[in-house]
Amino acid sequence: MTDIPPLHTPEPDKAGALADEAARHLEAGEPEAALSCLDRAIKLNPDEPSLYIERGRLRSGMGDAARALDDFRRAIEIDPELAEELEPEDAATLLLRAEARLDREDPEAALEDLDRAVDLEPMNVNVRIARGRVWGALARWKEALADFDEALAMAPEDVYGRMCRGWALLRMGRTREALEDLNVTIARDPDLQEAWGFRSEAYGALGLHVEALKDLDEAVRRDGDDPGLFVQRAHLRLMSGDLRGAEDDCDAGIGRDPDNPLGYSNRALARALLERDDEAWADTERALSLDPHEPYYAFAAQGLVLTRKGRIAEAIAAFDHFVRLATDGDPLVDRVKAWRRDAQQRS
């Protein structure tokens, strides 16, 4: 018995045939016909990213840069790796690829794209802001601030650029200047959720813990799915002595992101201060297995636990390690130094 051919060609196969037909039209110098084929192919198979790349290239060649960019963006949404298949010659596509590269934690490659984009369009505000963000990802805050300043010189009303400048100033320790930018940002666009978290951080650095907590409460209200906000609020509660509130926020953050090292290190310290040593120690081990440096509160927690166990030399070493890793201005440093002195007196 012979096989009976299918009555209908599967939709993805039809889309592939249309893509092949588009390529033949292009070879024949018929771009409009090629575009029509790709339009139909995408309707049949809207989740195939290569179709959007091909249509984007065609539209770019036909001078339709805006819609070409939409196609490239859709392709990258489906498959971020396809960003590397782009061959950008314009600032907008360079910006798109740079953002994809930054999302994939490749800031050096993103910076190369944005340097080219700035050369092509030095007055493009979005490109300047994007390059500032990449400088920030590389912790090169002076260069980041220069790009944000340049963007705001060109567009003083750009709220996102002002928030980004506040972020850079905050990281540079220029907290009061940062607060000015963040106040303006929130006044103009309270829906810019990141700004609430940054302003809370600025308030906390200035010792204004009530204001800081209010801003984080608002940030959580606006975006209750961001684990970083819960971990940030847990830190504030730790500093104010609300240990059970800090633990609850860490639980919420870890529940949303089980690999968040700061969630574990903050919870470790809360539990160590509550003298729940076994739980605290387990959290320190989990935090440091995820990142041996950034969750340095784990070392403070270990110092407290080791002190209670009478392992004084190890406790002092843990406290010293915390002090070496602590960021400038961390309010816990003075308390850790006091815990170290107390441990030393027990030796």
Structural domain boundaries of the chain?
Answer: 10-84, 257-347
Calpha distance 47→24 (Å, rounded): 23
Evaluate whether 12 touches 44 at the Cβ level (below 8 Å): yes
- Mean pLDDT of the chain, nearest integer: 90
Q: Is the pLDDT of residue 8 over 60?
A: no
Residues with Cβ within 8 Å of 13's Cβ and at least 6 positions away in sequence, in order, are none
What pLDDT is attached to residue 172? 94
Q: Is the pLDDT of residue 242 over 60?
A: yes
pLDDT computed for residue 36 by the predictor: 93
Average pLDDT over residues 165-186: 97
Whether the pLDDT of residue 253 is over 90: the answer is: yes
User: Which of 82-91, 206-215, 337-346 has the weakest average pLDDT?
Assistant: 82-91
- Same CATH fold assignment for domains 10-84 and 257-347: yes
Q: Residue 73 in contact with residue 103, Cβ under 8 Å?
A: no
Element housing 140 (H / E):
none
Distance CA 5, CA 237 (A): 68
Contact between 286 and 322 (Cβ < 8 Å): no
pLDDT tier for residue 2 given thresholds of 50, 70 and 90: very low
Examine the pLDDT at 4 and tell me if it is beyond 70.
Answer: no
Average pLDDT on 25-33 reads 92
Evaluate if residue 31 carries a pLDDT over 70.
yes
The CATH architecture that domain 10-84 belongs to is: Alpha Horseshoe (1.25)
The residue-averaged pLDDT of 290-308 equals 95
Residue 105: predicted pLDDT: 84
What's the pLDDT tens digit per position in 192-232? Answer: 889 999 999 999 889 898 999 999 999 999 888 899 999 99
Give the pLDDT band (50/70/90) at residue 73.
Answer: confident
Q: How much is the average pLDDT of 335-346?
A: 94
Q: State percent of the chain over pLDDT 70.
A: 96
Predicted pLDDT at 272: 97
pLDDT band per the 50, 70, 90 thresholds, residue 65:
low
Helix extents (H) in the chain: 11-27, 31-44, 49-61, 65-78, 91-103, 107-120, 125-137, 141-154, 159-171, 175-188, 193-205, 209-222, 227-240, 243-256, 261-273, 277-290, 297-308, 312-325, 332-346
Look at residue 273 and tell me whether its pLDDT is greater than 60: yes
pLDDT at residue 265 in the model: 97
- Quick one: average pLDDT of 315-340? 92
CA 282 to chain centre: 27
Q: Is the pLDDT of residue 89 over 90?
A: no
Tens-place pLDDT, residues 96-139? 888 888 888 889 989 999 999 999 989 988 899 999 999 999 99
pLDDT band at 11 (very low <50, low <70, confident <90, very high): low
CATH code of domain 257-347: 1.25.40.10
